[in-house]
A and B are shown apart, each in its own frame.
Chain A
Amino acid sequence: MTWVNIIVQGALLGGFYALFAIGLSMSFGIMRLVNIAHGDLIVLSAYVALVATWYTGFDPFLSLVIVLPVMFGLGYLLQRGLLNQTLSGGLLPPLLVTFGISIIIQNTLLEVFGAQDYRLQEGAIETASLQTGGFYVGVYPLLVFAVAVACIAALQFLFYRTRLGRAFRAVSDDSDTAELMGIDNRKLYALAFAIAMIFTALAGVFFGIRTIFAPSSGPIRLILAFEAVIIGGLGSMWGTLIGGVVLGLAQAIGAALDPTWQTLAGHLAFLAILIVRPSGLFPRTRD
């Protein structure tokens, strides 16, 4: 029974990691931008939710009404105002600028909130569990997994069944020609990043409910998201989900052997897959 438990926990954990990864995967897929500040933006979202709950008395889920638009707007401005200028300079500018943003976010949060841990309180759902087939499944992890799946499905719909999604795919294929067809790349990139931020903000709130967070919590989120994307293979959203699940399983197995080995087990699985199958499990991009 315990092994089934481990697999279920690991898979559900994977839903979390996939949720972390969606925003990162989007910005890479559409803009070829690896956002080093991604993890910090997840944490920033959690802090925004925290402040929202302080001032409005909303619970964290309800605070999404505030957090999502705020992060959407921030993302649009960030891309339009700053990141768009880095896209034509080669490898270094986007990397270093997002690195700079990461440091700025972390240290500003540190100055404003201090180094102590916070958590978003959602109440009973955090510990509720369902009983199926002789073992318990947490309701919250199940919810997060379902949200991750719903988000990916929504994105697939956006990409393949809408005009905007068609433009995203065209720009991802060939941004020069897309511009020659009348697409305003700068606006499109800003919109793409803003949409990615919606998913990032969702991830932040769900994360903040489940775990304590502090200004320094960003980098490890980036690494987890990154590992999920690479394991799953660049360019495939469903691949990212599977990558997250693989990562979650590796961590769950590691944790079962010894709780302090959890994160390490995930990293080692990532490195192993990297060596054996560098393009991931379901790669799709043409680079």
Chain B
Amino acid sequence: METVRVDRATRASRIFAVFAALALATLIAMPWWGDAGNMRLVGEMAYYLALAQLWNLLAGYAGLVSVGQQAYVGLGGYILFYLTGVWDMNVYLALAIAGPFAGLIAIPVSFAVFRLRGAYFAVGTWVVSEVFALFASLIAVLGAGSGLSLTPAILREISPDRDTRDIILYLMSLAISVFVFAVVYLLLRSRHGLALTAIRDSERASASLGVNTFRTKFIIYIATAACTGLIGSLIFLQKLRISPEAGFSINDWTVVVIFMVVIGGIGTLEGPFIGMVVFIVLRELLADYGKYYLILLGVIAIAVMLKAPYGIWGWIIQRFDLQLFPVGRRLALGLTGGPTDSVAKI
């Protein structure tokens, strides 16, 4: 008797899963085989990857192209510094609050920016970020223009010993990256993910099929803001200082993230990984040449957008029909119980 089974994984994705697990284990073990410099770099890569995954979710899947996510990065940082510095809160508690609080702030923000569409939405989110930066620069208790510093006491809460502290911060950066990735991945695998893909492909059509596009986009926006806030708080915990310019810098937190996603492949889970690697390689290679790596990044992003709009991974998908992170669904036809090759793809 013929049965139809819906497969989630492909052979490639199963093989890849093994590699991924091995790679992750290696990274977790880094404190034992790597040095502080390596850990800092990988930690940075982990943050950028997380930010890229989140921006990809927002823009590549929900169609909300935001140029203002730096608002939540800085917000997360400021929440952390404020709670630990002014309210003497335990650093881990403050970290736990930073994310959700950023998500809360995102709610009224969404009322304003969701009035706009497309490129106007993008600039609108930028305005919001500027507003956050201006508030931060004007409020005395937030350090006004010069910002705030983390006191040594707060750092000692994590660990009195500097090396241990570095390891803890490193592992936290890995953890947050894995966590964000897991959230994005599970979301896209779920029914909501299917809804998102439908919205991305055609908002009108999916609305007419009963997908609540507004609520889906709203939830994605809030969730992304919360995660971005959490990442921001961790980033600035490591940096030890925050100022309006650094916290809400579009260049540091948005420009590179957007380029990563675009070059790697927007709208795919694999894209941000590739884009992040390309970015770090470029930056390290051109480290001695000032801002040229940014110029080159811009040129590459433009070239990609015009010639290969689906990025490096998009090109790979087209050539090799590959999917490493199984979020799609494939129809498998065959005899009961036996493993079969896919016949139809959804």
Contact = CB atoms under 8 A, between A and B. Distances in A.
Nearest to B119: A34
A271 B108 CA distance: 11
A219 B130 CA distance: 10
B63 to A, nearest CB: 8
Given A92-B305, A103-B255, A103-B294, A219 B119 contact: no
Contact of A86 (B63, B138, B298, B305): B305
Interface string B98-130: 000000000000011001101110111011101
Contacts of B258: 96, 99
Nearest to B250: A219
A78 B302 CA distance: 13
B115 A275 contact: yes
B153 to A, nearest CB: 32
A92 B266 contact: yes
Contacts of B126: 219, 223
Contacts of A270: 127
Secondary structure call for the B interface: helix
Secondary structure call for the A interface: helix
Interface in B203-232: none
Contacts of A86: 305-306
Interface in A203-228: 219-220, 222-223, 226-227
Contacts of A271: 112, 127-128, 131
Contacts of B80: none
A242 to B, nearest CB: 18
Interface stretch (A5-13, A55-63, A258-266): A258-266
A97 B301 CA distance: 7
A164 interface: no
A219 B129 CA distance: 12
A158 interface: no
Nearest to A223: B127
B290 interface: yes
Contacts of B309: 89, 92-93
A100 B123 contact: no
B16 interface: no
Nearest to B306: A85
A96 B295 contact: no
A200 B119 CA distance: 20
Contact of A91 (B65, B290, B295, B299): B65
B119 to A, nearest CB: 3
B299 A104 contact: yes
Contact of A267 (B67, B115, B127, B301): B127
A91 B118 contact: yes
A230 B122 CA distance: 13
Contacts of A82: 302, 306
Interface in A106-133: 107-108, 110-111
A99 B128 CA distance: 18
A90 to B, nearest CB: 9
Given A34-B119, A95-B65, A104-B299, A264 B306 contact: no
Interface residues of B, number: 42
A274 interface: yes
Contacts of B250: 219
The listed residue with most A CB atoms (<10 A of its CB), out of B112, B124, B305, is B305
Contact of A96 (B134, B291, B301): B301
The listed residue with most A CB atoms (<10 A of its CB), out of B111, B124, B299, B302, is B302
A260 B138 contact: yes
B297 interface: yes
B79 interface: no
B39 interface: no
Contacts of A69: none
Nearest to B304: A96
Contacts of A263: 130, 134
A94 interface: yes
B138 A97 contact: no
B299 A261 contact: no
Contacts of B119: 34, 36, 91, 94-95
A219 B254 CA distance: 13
Given A34-B119, A274-B124, A268 B302 contact: no
Contacts of A268: 131
Nearest to B113: A274
A83 B56 CA distance: 24
Given A34-B120, A103-B294, A264 B138 contact: yes
A100 B298 contact: yes
A96 B119 CA distance: 10
A108 B295 contact: yes
Given A99-B67, A111-B291, A222-B123, A34 B118 contact: yes
A51 B90 CA distance: 55
B295 A107 contact: yes
A107 B134 contact: no
Given A34-B123, A275-B112, A100 B118 contact: no
Which 10 A-B pairs give the minimum distances between C-beta atoms?
A: A34-B119, A278-B115, A107-B291, A100-B302, A103-B298, A104-B298, A100-B298, A264-B134, A100-B301, A107-B294
27 contacts: A36-B119, A82-B302, A82-B306, A85-B306, A86-B305, A89-B305, A91-B63, A91-B118, A91-B119, A92-B309, A94-B119, A96-B258, A97-B305, A97-B306, A100-B298, A100-B299, A100-B301, A100-B302, A100-B305, A107-B292, A223-B123, A226-B120, A226-B123, A271-B127, A271-B128, A274-B112, A274-B115
Given A95-B65, A226-B123, 14 more contacts: A36-B67, A85-B306, A99-B255, A99-B301, A100-B298, A100-B305, A103-B297, A107-B295, A220-B130, A230-B116, A261-B138, A267-B127, A275-B111, A275-B115
